[in-house]
């Protein structure tokens, strides 16, 4: 039987998951429609669509795995279900972090302003960076999967089944987890480094413009401040995601503490849903598409709820369309 706190955290996690699927689904849908209209796929559209897709899968696997561990842990006691979940987690988690890292590097090379020759060399070859990073993702998979297989086989040999009750020393367990997640650690470090470098560049440029601008506030300085706020929010959410994963890993050493696992699951889901809405508000194309969708939804609700005579007296564009429909033969 779950406690009140555990039930509340589960409700929060489910709500976050629904919002995350909707937000990331919207990002993927808008970018796919834009690619079909333009008949080409830009690098940023590919990264955003891949990031949204991987996050939807990430949310689903976090919630499914969480509910199995909370309500039916015996399902992991026999069969190969835990193997399949582990392999999917490796693919989806590393793909998600890879897309996030690619997005941060893309923005870093496009927006940042450094005079170092290495940065200028990378900036001139931005279209070649993505295939290089994709190669690093495959190398990470090749390194991680044997480690996952080894960990699962060791656990089955020690426990006689696939349960997550550990008889080994905690230091040995955490060493195995570090080796298993080495690809995630390296990609996360690269992501955080590029984000902090971009933040430094934006802050330096904003300070320089404030010193040079007199009178009315420069619009570019305001844009830089908004970009810094978005970037800081992104970094905080990503750190929460890493903390949530660390909490879930720590739970396996104390499997009787179910509240710890639920808290880790709730913390982990904050990142994939929270950053999707930050992307929508920070990207002009996605923001305009969301405003258009909200306007159409508002028009639909107006036509559905108000009588035709009252709707015809409205002030917005959807009311004028209703007047035209009433008068048309």
We report the CATH number of the domain holding residue 216 as 1.20.1070.10
pTM: 0.83
Predicted confidence (pLDDT) at residue 233 exceeds the cutoff of 70: yes
The DSSP call for residue 40 is S
- Give the range among 8-22, 36-50, 150-164, 274-288 with minimum mean pLDDT: 150-164
* Region 42-53 average pLDDT: 89
Domain count along the chain: 1
CA distance 222 to 217: 8
308 found inside a domain = no
Gap between the terminal Cα atoms of the chain: 64
Q: Which residue has the higher pLDDT, 165 or 150?
A: 150
Residues above pLDDT 70, as percent of the chain: 81
Q: Residue 263: its pLDDT value, please?
A: 93
Left (φ > 0), alpha (ψ -120 to 50) or beta: where does 221 sit? Answer: alpha
* Region 311-320 average pLDDT: 48
Structural domain of 19: 4-282
- Give the range among 11-20, 22-31, 32-41, 216-225 with minimum mean pLDDT: 216-225
Q: What is the pLDDT of residues 72-108, one digit of tens each?
A: 888 877 668 888 898 999 999 999 999 998 888 888 8
Quick one: pLDDT band at residue 54, thresholds 50, 70, 90?
Answer: very high
Quick one: pLDDT band at residue 311, thresholds 50, 70, 90?
Answer: very low
Quick one: pLDDT band at residue 12, thresholds 50, 70, 90?
Answer: very high
94 found inside a domain = yes
CA distance 329 to 326: 8
Quick one: pLDDT band at residue 268, thresholds 50, 70, 90?
Answer: very high
329 found inside a domain = no
Q: Residue 45: its pLDDT value, please?
A: 86
297 found inside a domain = no
Residue 170 in contact with residue 124, Cβ under 8 Å?
no
Left (φ > 0), alpha (ψ -120 to 50) or beta: where does 215 sit? Answer: left
The DSSP call for residue 99 is H
Across 76-85, 284-293, 319-328, which has the greatest mean pLDDT?
284-293
Predicted confidence (pLDDT) at residue 329 exceeds the cutoff of 50: no
288 found inside a domain = no
**Residue among 61, 68, 63 nearest 86 (CA):** 61
* Region 16-25 average pLDDT: 93
Predicted confidence (pLDDT) at residue 134 exceeds the cutoff of 60: yes
* Region 151-163 average pLDDT: 63
Q: CA-CA distances (angstroms) from residue 159 to 57, 163, 182?
A: 30, 7, 25
307 found inside a domain = no
Q: Which residue has the higher pLDDT, 303 or 281?
A: 281
Predicted confidence (pLDDT) at residue 319 exceeds the cutoff of 50: no
292 found inside a domain = no
141 found inside a domain = yes
């Amino acid at each position: 039987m779950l406690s009140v706190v555990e039930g509340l955290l589960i409700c929060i996690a489910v709500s976050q998951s629904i919002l995350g699927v909707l937000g990331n689904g919207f990002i993927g849908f808008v970018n796919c429609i834009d690619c079909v209209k333009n008949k080409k796929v830009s690098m940023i559209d590919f990264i955003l669509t891949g990031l949204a897709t991987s996050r939807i899968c990430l949310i689903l696997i976090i919630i499914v795995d969480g509910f199995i561990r909370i309500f039916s842990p015996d399902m992991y006691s026999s069969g190969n279900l835990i193997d399949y979940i582990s392999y999917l987690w490796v693919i989806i988690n590393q793909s998600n972090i890879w897309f996030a890292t690619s997005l941060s590097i893309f923005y870093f090379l496009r927006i940042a302003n450094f005079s170092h020759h290495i940065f200028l060399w990378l900036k001139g070859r931005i279209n070649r960076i993505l295939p290089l990073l994709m190669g690093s993702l495959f190398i990470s998979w090749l390194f991680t999967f044997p480690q996952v297989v080894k960990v699962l086989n060791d656990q089955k040999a020690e426990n006689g089944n696939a349960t997550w009750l550990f008889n080994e020393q905690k230091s040995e367990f955490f060493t195995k987890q570090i080796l298993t997640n080495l690809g995630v650690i390296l990609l996360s470090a690269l992501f955080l480094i590029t984000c902090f470098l971009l933040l430094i560049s934006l802050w330096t440029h904003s300070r320089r413009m404030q010193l040079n601008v007199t009178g009315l506030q420069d619009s570019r300085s305001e844009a830089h401040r908004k970009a810094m706020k978005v970037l800081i929010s992104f970094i905080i959410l990503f750190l929460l995601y890493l903390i949530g994963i660390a909490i879930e890993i720590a739970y396996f050493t104390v499997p009787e503490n179910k509240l710890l696992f639920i808290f880790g699951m709730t913390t982990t889901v904050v990142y994939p849903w929270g950053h999707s809405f930050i992307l929508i508000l920070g990207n002009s194309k996605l923001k305009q598409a969301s405003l258009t969708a909200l306007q159409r939804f508002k028009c639909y609700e107006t036509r559905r709820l108000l009588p035709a005579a009252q709707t015809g007296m409205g002030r917005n564009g959807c009311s004028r369309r209703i007047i035209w429909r009433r008068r048309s033969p």
